Amino acid sequence: MKNFVVKTIANAGALAVAIWLLQDITLTGDDTGPKVLTLIVVALLFGLINSVVKPVVQLLTLPLFILTLGLVTLVVNALMLMLTSWLAGVFDLSFHVDGFWTAVLGGLIISVVSWALNVVLPDND
């Protein structure tokens, strides 16, 4: 259970950094409290998508992964971020990613920050 909480916090932190760095990834709201709650819900949604959908997409793109020496991972991460944005819109959350190239850069930022936070945060159960 503790590992799930740590990964959710790392995802929320990584999403917050991407929102802060890129103007085309937006999280709108009036107060800090609702923004933080929305960010946590989006982090949960992002984690769910990464644990369910991403492995299937990676398996289907395995030949491209081998052919591009792993660079297709940037595209897969961008697609997962865009899917999170679309689902956030379906669930009426105020999170939006505007454009594919923004999603590519955002996916790169989220991957690096999430990795760094997972190194720093404890992950024992």
Burial of 77 (0-12, 13-18, 19+ CB in 10 A): buried
pLDDT-based confidence at residue 125 (cuts at 50, 70, 90): low
**What's the confidence (pLDDT) of residue 1?**
66
Nearest to 91 by CA among 52, 58, 49, 30: 49
Residue 39 has pLDDT above 60, yes or no: yes
pLDDT-based confidence at residue 8 (cuts at 50, 70, 90): confident
**What's the confidence (pLDDT) of residue 124?**
64
**What's the confidence (pLDDT) of residue 38?**
92
* Backbone φ, ψ for residue 27 (5° rounding): -135, 105
